Structure 1
Amino acid sequence: MVVSEAALKAHGLTPLARIHNLTVTGGDPVVMLEEPLFATDRALQRAGMRIDDIDLIPAAIRRSSTSMAGRSLSAIRSARRARS
Protein backbone atom coordinates (compact mmCIF):
# COMPACT_ATOMS: atom_id res chain seq x y z
CA MET A 1 0.00 0.00 0.00
CA VAL A 2 1.32 3.44 -0.90
CA VAL A 3 0.13 6.36 1.22
CA SER A 4 1.06 9.95 1.89
CA GLU A 5 2.86 11.06 5.01
CA ALA A 6 -0.35 12.81 6.11
CA ALA A 7 -2.27 9.51 5.88
CA LEU A 8 0.40 7.76 7.95
CA LYS A 9 0.02 10.32 10.70
CA ALA A 10 -3.79 10.44 10.51
CA HIS A 11 -4.09 6.67 10.95
CA GLY A 12 -1.14 6.16 13.30
CA LEU A 13 0.67 3.87 10.85
CA THR A 14 4.36 3.02 10.74
CA PRO A 15 5.89 2.87 7.25
CA LEU A 16 7.63 -0.33 6.20
CA ALA A 17 9.50 1.24 3.29
CA ARG A 18 10.13 4.58 1.65
CA ILE A 19 10.15 5.47 -2.03
CA HIS A 20 13.18 7.67 -2.68
CA ASN A 21 12.78 8.11 -6.43
CA LEU A 22 10.58 7.03 -9.33
CA THR A 23 12.23 6.85 -12.73
CA VAL A 24 10.95 6.04 -16.19
CA THR A 25 13.29 5.08 -19.00
CA GLY A 26 12.68 3.88 -22.53
CA GLY A 27 14.89 1.55 -24.50
CA ASP A 28 15.09 -0.67 -27.51
CA PRO A 29 12.29 -3.24 -27.24
CA VAL A 30 14.57 -5.93 -28.70
CA VAL A 31 16.89 -5.67 -25.70
CA MET A 32 14.31 -4.46 -23.18
CA LEU A 33 15.61 -6.73 -20.41
CA GLU A 34 18.58 -4.37 -20.10
CA GLU A 35 16.34 -1.37 -19.30
CA PRO A 36 15.85 -2.13 -15.56
CA LEU A 37 19.62 -1.71 -15.18
CA PHE A 38 19.51 1.81 -16.63
CA ALA A 39 16.38 2.75 -14.70
CA THR A 40 17.95 1.54 -11.46
CA ASP A 41 21.17 3.42 -12.17
CA ARG A 42 19.26 6.64 -12.95
CA ALA A 43 17.03 6.35 -9.87
CA LEU A 44 20.04 5.77 -7.61
CA GLN A 45 21.85 8.78 -9.06
CA ARG A 46 18.80 11.03 -8.61
CA ALA A 47 18.33 9.86 -5.03
CA GLY A 48 22.04 10.23 -4.23
CA MET A 49 22.23 6.57 -3.27
CA ARG A 50 24.21 3.44 -4.09
CA ILE A 51 22.86 -0.06 -4.66
CA ASP A 52 24.31 -1.06 -1.26
CA ASP A 53 21.94 1.43 0.40
CA ILE A 54 18.91 -0.68 -0.58
CA ASP A 55 17.62 -3.44 1.69
CA LEU A 56 15.31 -5.18 -0.81
CA ILE A 57 15.67 -5.32 -4.59
CA PRO A 58 12.79 -6.47 -6.84
CA ALA A 59 13.37 -9.84 -8.50
CA ALA A 60 13.09 -8.31 -12.00
CA ILE A 61 16.17 -6.16 -11.37
CA ARG A 62 18.13 -9.05 -9.92
CA ARG A 63 17.18 -11.35 -12.79
CA SER A 64 17.99 -8.86 -15.48
CA SER A 65 21.34 -7.94 -13.94
CA THR A 66 22.34 -11.60 -13.67
CA SER A 67 20.97 -12.49 -17.11
CA MET A 68 23.38 -10.11 -18.79
CA ALA A 69 25.96 -12.90 -18.94
CA GLY A 70 28.33 -11.10 -16.62
CA ARG A 71 28.33 -7.83 -18.59
CA SER A 72 28.98 -4.79 -16.48
CA LEU A 73 26.70 -1.78 -16.59
CA SER A 74 29.47 0.23 -18.29
CA ALA A 75 29.80 -2.44 -21.01
CA ILE A 76 26.05 -2.37 -21.58
CA ARG A 77 26.10 1.45 -21.75
CA SER A 78 28.89 1.33 -24.35
CA ALA A 79 26.92 -1.14 -26.46
CA ARG A 80 23.81 1.01 -26.14
CA ARG A 81 25.68 4.12 -27.30
CA ALA A 82 27.09 2.22 -30.25
CA ARG A 83 23.56 1.23 -31.35
CA SER A 84 22.33 4.85 -31.17
Structure 2
Amino acid sequence: MDANKEISPTVYGKLLQKARKEKGWSLQEVEKMTGIKGSYIHLLEIGKKRNPSVTTIFALTNVYNLEMCKVAEMVVRQAQEDEISDK
Protein backbone atom coordinates (compact mmCIF):
# COMPACT_ATOMS: atom_id res chain seq x y z
CA MET A 1 0.00 0.00 0.00
CA ASP A 2 1.27 3.46 -0.86
CA ALA A 3 2.34 5.24 2.34
CA ASN A 4 0.76 8.48 1.09
CA LYS A 5 -2.62 6.87 0.48
CA GLU A 6 -5.27 7.80 3.04
CA ILE A 7 -6.11 4.85 5.25
CA SER A 8 -9.78 4.33 5.90
CA PRO A 9 -11.40 1.81 8.20
CA THR A 10 -12.28 -1.46 6.54
CA VAL A 11 -15.71 -3.01 6.70
CA TYR A 12 -14.11 -5.63 8.94
CA GLY A 13 -12.61 -2.97 11.21
CA LYS A 14 -15.90 -1.15 11.53
CA LEU A 15 -17.62 -4.44 12.35
CA LEU A 16 -15.08 -5.21 15.07
CA GLN A 17 -15.42 -1.78 16.64
CA LYS A 18 -19.22 -1.89 16.52
CA ALA A 19 -19.32 -5.37 18.09
CA ARG A 20 -16.92 -4.34 20.86
CA LYS A 21 -18.81 -1.14 21.65
CA GLU A 22 -22.19 -2.89 21.63
CA LYS A 23 -20.87 -5.21 24.32
CA GLY A 24 -19.50 -2.23 26.25
CA TRP A 25 -15.97 -3.65 26.27
CA SER A 26 -12.73 -1.72 26.29
CA LEU A 27 -9.76 -2.73 24.16
CA GLN A 28 -8.04 -3.90 27.35
CA GLU A 29 -10.97 -6.18 28.21
CA VAL A 30 -10.90 -7.75 24.75
CA GLU A 31 -7.12 -8.17 25.08
CA LYS A 32 -7.62 -10.13 28.32
CA MET A 33 -10.25 -12.35 26.69
CA THR A 34 -8.35 -13.04 23.47
CA GLY A 35 -4.66 -12.53 24.20
CA ILE A 36 -4.52 -10.08 21.28
CA LYS A 37 -2.92 -6.73 22.12
CA GLY A 38 -5.50 -3.96 22.48
CA SER A 39 -3.29 -1.68 20.39
CA TYR A 40 -3.37 -4.20 17.53
CA ILE A 41 -7.17 -4.52 17.76
CA HIS A 42 -7.40 -0.73 17.60
CA LEU A 43 -5.23 -0.68 14.46
CA LEU A 44 -7.55 -3.26 12.88
CA GLU A 45 -10.59 -1.18 13.82
CA ILE A 46 -9.23 2.00 12.22
CA GLY A 47 -7.82 0.30 9.12
CA LYS A 48 -4.10 0.71 9.77
CA LYS A 49 -3.73 -3.07 9.94
CA ARG A 50 -5.68 -4.74 7.18
CA ASN A 51 -4.75 -8.41 6.89
CA PRO A 52 -5.09 -10.18 10.24
CA SER A 53 -4.07 -13.81 10.64
CA VAL A 54 -6.66 -16.56 10.65
CA THR A 55 -5.96 -17.05 14.36
CA THR A 56 -6.72 -13.38 15.05
CA ILE A 57 -9.87 -13.46 12.94
CA PHE A 58 -11.06 -16.59 14.74
CA ALA A 59 -10.35 -15.22 18.24
CA LEU A 60 -12.13 -11.91 17.64
CA THR A 61 -15.02 -13.51 15.77
CA ASN A 62 -15.47 -15.97 18.62
CA VAL A 63 -15.34 -13.41 21.46
CA TYR A 64 -17.76 -11.07 19.64
CA ASN A 65 -20.01 -14.01 18.66
CA LEU A 66 -19.92 -13.14 14.95
CA GLU A 67 -20.41 -15.48 11.98
CA MET A 68 -16.97 -16.76 10.93
CA CYS A 69 -17.86 -17.27 7.26
CA LYS A 70 -19.09 -13.70 6.81
CA VAL A 71 -16.11 -12.21 8.64
CA ALA A 72 -13.59 -14.30 6.69
CA GLU A 73 -15.28 -13.27 3.45
CA MET A 74 -14.92 -9.57 4.41
CA VAL A 75 -11.22 -9.97 5.19
CA VAL A 76 -10.50 -11.81 1.92
CA ARG A 77 -12.44 -9.22 -0.10
CA GLN A 78 -10.51 -6.38 1.58
CA ALA A 79 -7.17 -8.09 0.88
CA GLN A 80 -8.13 -8.47 -2.79
CA GLU A 81 -9.17 -4.81 -3.03
CA ASP A 82 -5.93 -3.71 -1.37
CA GLU A 83 -3.91 -5.83 -3.81
CA ILE A 84 -5.71 -4.31 -6.80
CA SER A 85 -5.30 -0.74 -5.51
CA ASP A 86 -1.57 -1.31 -4.93
CA LYS A 87 -1.03 -2.05 -8.63
What TM-score do the two structures reach when normalised by structure 2? 0.28
What TM-score do the two structures reach when normalised by structure 1? 0.29
Structure (1 or 2) with the larger CA radius of gyration: 1
Q: Which has the higher helix share?
A: 2
> Which has the higher relative contact order, 1 or 2, with Cα contacts under 8 A spaced 6 or more apart?
2
